[in-house]
Structures are given as C-alpha cells and as structure tokens.
Structure 1
Amino acid sequence: MSILKLALKSSTVQSIRQLSGSSGSDVVVVSALRTPIGSFRGSLSQLSAAQMATQVIKALISQSSVKPEQIDEVIMGHILTHGGGQHPTRQAVINSGLPSATVTSTVNKLCASGMKSLMLASGLLSLKQANIMIAGGMESMSNVPFILKRGDTNYGHTQLYDALLSDGLMDAFHNIHMGNCGENTAKKYGITREDQDKFAIGSYEKSAAAAKAGLFDKERISVTVPDRKSGTKTISDDEEYHKVDFNKIGSLKSVFQKDGTITAANASKLNDGAAVSLLMRSNTASELGLQPLAKIVDYADNEIEPIDFPIAPVEAMRKLLDRNGLKAHNVTMWEINEAFSVVPLVNIKLLGLDAQKVNIHGGAVSLGHPIGMSGARIVNHLAHTLKSGEFGIASICNGGGGASAILIQGN
C-alpha cells in the first residue's frame, strides 16, 4: 500500500475516532416518540395535527424527568395547516401543559419539515441559545380542506381546490403531481415497475415483522381518539401495513402516467401522525441524570432541479460522509424516506449502498407518510435502533427539488 493510501486510511480512521468521542456540547436525543400512523380518513382522522402533537408531547415529558418549564422552545414541522386553527404548533404546546412562555415555531420544508425542525433545534442548542428543546413534525392529511379562492364566487358554478394537492403533492413549477416527477426519475435511471413492486413488498414484510417483534414499541405511544359509541377509544398500532393485498400488487394500474411504473402499492400513502424528540446538550443530560439515545453528529441539505427531487438526498448524504471522514460501509443503518419506492432505489443505486442496510424495518410505503411528520419519524427510529457507537443516516427528499439528511450515532 502506498504512503498516500496509508495516510488517507489513517486520516479516515482518525476522523471516525473523533466522531466517536464525546464532549459536553454534543447535541443528543434523550427521548423520541411518535403516535401510531393512521390511514387516510382512518383511525386518527378525528384528531387534528395539533391534537396528535399534544398527546405525543405530553408522553415525551411524562417519560422524562424534565419539567415543562424547562423546555425552552418547541419547533414542529407542519405543511398543511389549512383549517387547523391559528398556529397549530402553539396549540400543541399550550394544550400539552407547557408554559405560555415556551417559544414556539413551525417549519414548512414540505416532506423534510420534521427533519429540518430537528436540525434547527440542534443548531440553537449548539449555539447555546437554548438548553432543552422539543422538535418534530405532525400532519393530519385526513383533515385538509378544499379551498374556495377568494373572489371565485361569481354568478353560476364555482370551483373548489384540494389544498392537499395544491400545497402538498403538486410540483409548483411544472404543475404536475410529485408522482410524475418520480416517473421521470424511474425512466432516467432505469428503475423498473418490477423493481419498485419488489421493494414495496419488502417494505410491507419488514414493517410487519418489525411490528410483530415489538421493534416499534419504544418509539410509539397509544393515543386517545373520540368515539361515538364509547366516548373515546385507544389507538396503539400503525394502520397502513395491515391493509396490503400481495396478490393484487402486480396487477395494479399505474397512477400518474399511462403505462407508468408507480402504483398505489409501491408509493407511500396519505396518512396522519406526529413525532417528537427531546433534545439537549450532553452535559445537560448528565446534570439531569438522563441517558441519551443517540448523538446528532451532523446534518446537511441539498437542492437540485424540482423535477429531480427523488435524487436530492444523494448529495445531502454525500456531504455528511465527506465532512465526517466516513464511507458508506461505516454506516450501519440508513433511513431513506419512501415517498415512492423509486426514491430509496435510485439513492441506493447512485450511492452504491448495501440495500440490506436501508430501511431495515420498512418505511413510508408500508407504514405511511404523514408528510410533515416523516422526517422526524425516521430519525427517531434510528435513535432507538442504533447500538452504541454505530452510525446511522436518515434522509428525506422534499418537493421543489430539496432534501435533508442527518448523521447520528448510537449512544
């Protein structure tokens, strides 16, 4: 081996060792919880996004020794706020029992909103502008209203616009559905219908196996939902993965284009849910006697042409690897959000990843994709799953050509 290669290898090993170290200013995830994920107009549809977030924030505080008045700020990703009342994040903060002095912010970076909230909170903690924060994401896609544009009430008929589409699922630059962008990527990179169907089946199988093994239990709470018959009922399980019919997957018609590759089975679904994390610096956790789940090592964003959004995570993840002296094989576990099956497939292809390390417990295709929540959910799952010293990367693409990614290390 040449002197240059030895030097590079030594440099990489040293970088990894430095990452594995700890300092009192490291930002850590102390607790990470989520609601079950409900299907569209399904088990959680009686709850608003704020009501789901309220329940999960209450549980987060209840499970830790942190007092409500110790929380400096709450940042939540939330996209489709229409009809949810003024400042849904503020509603969740006040109704969960946090003091009115708690600073509250909402982030809209489309599907990356929940992850971006965690990134912003980490930055504030690193700058010591806050000591303890809650960050995450929420979405009730079941309750997004139709819109009557102001001024569109002339004599005769008028038109309603679906805010779920216009503000969440439609590319604003080409006026096409995000699925059409996915079709463009599939064609450009040779990702076939068979590839996507196989991946989707695997996602459902992995989610079902993980649920059966209790691997979601530490991260998932039970929520209370209004019920006409009994007054209230408790929802404890994710809804979507139970609804698959494997016999029909191969025969489903494409959704977005004639003779296309994306179907209702190999794409993510419309869903409801909320996820949050309790973040602080490691010295604060020590002072409070709290054992962190994981350390947030680094995070990155990337932006490309809007139609190519499915491959935006590639450069975000490369930035994390390059900046931290890591190679793909140094990462134990990858969470790449399954907006469509083509997204993780093309990212695996372009980064040369070991597919056995990607979404090992399923993803949005089978569990669901409440768009403001998903970025936080996949980080939470990494935090609960990584063993001490192991590195994990979570990444999620967003409409408009963007993506966010976070590198974390198990504690």
Structure 2
Amino acid sequence: MRDAVIVEAVRTPIGKRNGSLASWHSADLSAQVLSALTDRTGIAPEQVDDVIWGCVRQSGHQANNVGRNAVLAAGWPESVPATTIDRQCGSSQQSVHFAAAGLIAGQYDVAVAGGVEIMSSIPAGAAIANPDLGHPTSVSIRHRYGVDFNQGVGAEKIAEKWGISRSQLDEFSARSHERLAAAIDSGALKRQIVPVAGAEGQLVDTDEGLRRGTTVDKLANLKPAFVEGGQIHAGNSSQISDGASALLMMTSEKAAELGLEPIARVHTATVAGDDPVLMLTALIPATVKALQRSGLSIDDIGAFEVNEAFASVPLAWISEMGADPERVNPNGGAIAIGHPLGASGARLMTTLVHHMRDQNIRYGLQTMCEGGGLGNATILELL
C-alpha cells in the first residue's frame, strides 16, 4: 500500500515586518529552503516529481507561479515542475495535502510541499489594488451575506460567541511569547531553521517577532484594531511577517530505496468550510472530521499546532475540542513567531514534525483557519 512520509522539513527564520528578510525576492528566499532539503538529504533535485508551493498574495515578485520560479532560482533542473496554490492562510498546509494525495495515488514518488510570503513588500490588498479589474467579492455574494468579509471583525465575533474575555486573549498572547523565548533559548528550534542572509549581510537564524517581557499588563494598554470598544488588537493578533518553509515527501518504499529515514507519515488530511462571516472557525469542523476519519480521540494527540491568526481562534478551538492547552503550540505560535501567509502551513508542520521527533510524540495534529471560512487539519504519525 502506498503512503506519504516526510523525510525532511525546514524553514527560514521568520522575519518581522520590514525586518531582515524584507528585501528578499520570494523566489530567492524559497530557493533557500529548497536547497536545504537537497543539502540535508543528498537527494538529486531531478528526482522530485513536483513542487507544490503555497502563496497568498500572488502579485509583484510573487506572481507568475512563484513555485516554478523558486525551482529555477534554486538552480534545479528545468525538468522539475512546480505549481503555486492559494488556500489563503492554509496554502502550504494544503500543499502537503496535495503532495500526499499525489504520492498515495501513484502520481508522484517524490514531492516537495511548502510556501512563501514576503508580506513586507507585497502588502494587503496588493492583488486587488486596481479597482478597474473588479473586486473578488461579487454582488451576489454581498447580497447573500449582507456584509463585507473582515478577518478582524470575525475574530471579534468569535471572542463574543465563545465568551472569551480580553484578559484571556492577552494571557494567551503573552504565553505565546514566553513559549517562543523558551524554545529559542533551549535551542529547540535550531535544527528546523535554515539561516539566511539579512538585509545588511548578517546571518539571520532566529525568529524576529519575539517580544521578550510581554505581559498582560503591557498588552492591556493596546487599543482595539477592528471594532471600537473591541478586544482584538495588534498584541493578540498574528504578526505581519516574511518567510519560507518546505517539506520533502515521498513514499516509504522510495525512502528505503534512497536510504532515507522518514520522520513521520501523513496519517489523515481533511479540509472543511464554515461561515465566511465568522470566517475563522472552519478549523473546528476540519479537526472533528480528521479525528473521525483517523479513529483517534483528542486525547490520543500528543501535540497540536493551531495557527494563532488571532488569540480568539485557538481559544475557541480549545474550548470546542477539549484539548489540553499545554499541548497546544508548545513552542509559541504566530502571535510571537509571525504569520507569513503562504509559508505558515508548512512552517507549523515543520515545527510540529521536529517537536514530535524531539519529544517522541506518536501523533500530532495541525489545523489552521483560512480566509473565506475554510480550514485544514492534518494528523501526522511519528515513524
């Protein structure tokens, strides 16, 4: 029986807005993680059947199939194909799903999944900046829902629906920074990060979003960002970031043939849709579906990576799923690390894979909310 296993997972450090990675071209930064996969495993690039790359803002230097451009920038043979996909924040998690499906179906023997986003230079709305070309939300959609879609407003509605207080949001956010600081200081993230050159030629090997000393009292001084009198602000939201991440995937049979040892296999992969006005809740039904299909319970999962788009999202997910909060984002999340949209799915999975191996955790689950009311969930099994 064919399967899909992960034999290596790498990422760049995550750069803060207008930070050390802001001047990188997306194809060139992507090439850094592609090259790291071949350097670490010794696999010949021509053995890769496809590169499936996530990217959300496909404009400017992220346009024209940045996945293909990444392959060329890495100096890989022209025979290696690539495609770029957009499932909003879950794009590179979906890349993993597509790669796994291709491997299991026999379309691939070896595939790379990953993604990139340079949010510093490709700002929000860049892909729809020309009003003469129309707006992605059609009149019929606006008539159906009667409101414009807004993630920040959705995060506020989630906090209200699940009864999550400002103090709970800020406590969760401060803890994200605390956990990232502990992970950096212990060296827990070192193996997964590919150091890259910064804007001034310096070597960057550490996530730049960390704000040491973040406390609930400090966060309490920040003003709401989306709704007057609301609870969501810059400090309990994910950061605007730059980064890239990639995973080398293949069948177990191919790994044995190449003399490579798999880290984990893709056990279960699901996607779900939910209310596009709340927008950020589909990770809940996606997780329910994943657990049902896998035959596992929430207590069987030893580690969770739940994207911290806004603090209300993982808190609502924890409330619904009954997961142990200590197992959720044990090395910090997007509030502290950052959220380079198209790279985030693969970044979370890279972090999860390495944590599972380091802590000998059999099952890990990753899930993300996504624009449009979508959500992915993936269960990995340690090998």
Q: TM-score range by the shorter chain?
A: over 0.9
Match of 1:221 among 194, 201, 206: 194
Q: TM-score, normalised by structure 1?
A: 0.86
Residue 311 of structure 2 corresponds to which residue in structure 1?
Answer: 341
Residue 77 of structure 2 corresponds to which residue in structure 1?
Answer: 99
Secondary structure of 1:309's match?
Answer: coil
Residue 364 of structure 2 corresponds to which residue in structure 1?
Answer: 392
* 1:382 and 2:352 are equivalent in the alignment: yes
* 1:241 and 2:219 are equivalent in the alignment: no
* 1:112 and 2:90 are equivalent in the alignment: yes
Equivalent runs, 1:239-388 vs 2, <5 Å: 239-242=208-211, 245-246=214-215, 247-387=217-357, 388=360
Secondary structure of 2:285's match?
Answer: helix
> 1: distance between equivalents of 2:32 and 2:171?
36
Residue 130 of structure 2 corresponds to which residue in structure 1?
Answer: 149
Q: Which runs of 5+ in 1 are unaligned?
A: 1-22, 153-160
> 1: distance between equivalents of 2:9 and 2:65?
23
| Higher Rg of the two aligned structures | 1
> 1: distance between equivalents of 2:157 and 2:213?
26
Residue type of the partner of 2:332? Answer: G
Secondary structure of 2:192's match?
Answer: coil
Is the alpha carbon distance of 1:225 and 1:126 closer, same or farther for their aligned partners in structure 2, counting shifts above 3 Å?
same
Secondary structure of 1:403's match?
Answer: strand
Q: How many residues align?
A: 370
> 2: distance between equivalents of 1:88 and 1:305?
30
> 2: distance between equivalents of 1:141 and 1:53?
14
Match of 2:175 among 187, 196, 202: 202
> 1: distance between equivalents of 2:343 and 2:129?
27
Q: Displacement of 1:150 after TM fit?
A: 6.6
Determine if contact 2:30/2:244 at 8 Å carries over to the other structure: yes
Residue 51 of structure 2 corresponds to which residue in structure 1?
Answer: 74
> 1: distance between equivalents of 2:106 and 2:38?
21
> 1: distance between equivalents of 2:130 and 2:279?
29
Determine if contact 1:48/1:143 at 8 Å carries over to the other structure: no
> 2: distance between equivalents of 1:253 and 1:81?
31
Determine if contact 2:181/2:212 at 8 Å carries over to the other structure: no
Residue type of the partner of 1:196? Answer: L
Is the alpha carbon distance of 1:352 and 1:46 closer, same or farther for their aligned partners in structure 2, counting shifts above 3 Å?
same
> 2: distance between equivalents of 1:263 and 1:151?
32
Q: Which runs of 5+ in 2 are unaligned?
A: none
> 2: distance between equivalents of 1:110 and 1:93?
22
Residue 5 of structure 1 corresponds to which residue in structure 2?
Answer: none
Secondary structure of 2:341's match?
Answer: coil
Residue type of the partner of 1:363? Answer: G
Secondary structure of 1:115's match?
Answer: helix
Q: TM-score, normalised by structure 2?
A: 0.92
> 1: distance between equivalents of 2:199 and 2:210?
23
Secondary structure of 1:308's match?
Answer: coil
Determine if contact 2:172/2:311 at 8 Å carries over to the other structure: yes
Q: Displacement of 1:245 after TM fit?
A: 4.3
* 1:178 and 2:158 are equivalent in the alignment: no
Residue type of the partner of 1:180? Answer: V
| Worse-superposed segment, 337-346 or 59-68 | 59-68
Determine if contact 2:178/2:212 at 8 Å carries over to the other structure: no
**Residue deviations 1:124-152, cap 9 Å, x none?**
00011111111011100011155752759
Residue 409 of structure 1 corresponds to which residue in structure 2?
Answer: 381
> 2: distance between equivalents of 1:389 and 1:253?
40
> 1: distance between equivalents of 2:171 and 2:326?
14
Determine if contact 1:68/1:97 at 8 Å carries over to the other structure: no
Determine if contact 1:82/1:144 at 8 Å carries over to the other structure: yes
> 2: distance between equivalents of 1:274 and 1:56?
7
| Worse-superposed segment, 237-246 or 194-203 | 237-246
Secondary structure of 1:205's match?
Answer: helix
**Residue deviations 1:179-218, cap 9 Å, x none?**
1011011111101111100000100000110111111111
Determine if contact 2:303/2:361 at 8 Å carries over to the other structure: no
Q: Displacement of 1:48 after TM fit?
A: 2.2
Equivalent runs, 1:36-55 vs 2, <5 Å: 36-55=13-32
Secondary structure of 1:79's match?
Answer: coil
Is the alpha carbon distance of 1:71 and 1:189 closer, same or farther for their aligned partners in structure 2, counting shifts above 3 Å?
same
Determine if contact 2:177/2:214 at 8 Å carries over to the other structure: no
- Percent sequence identity is 34
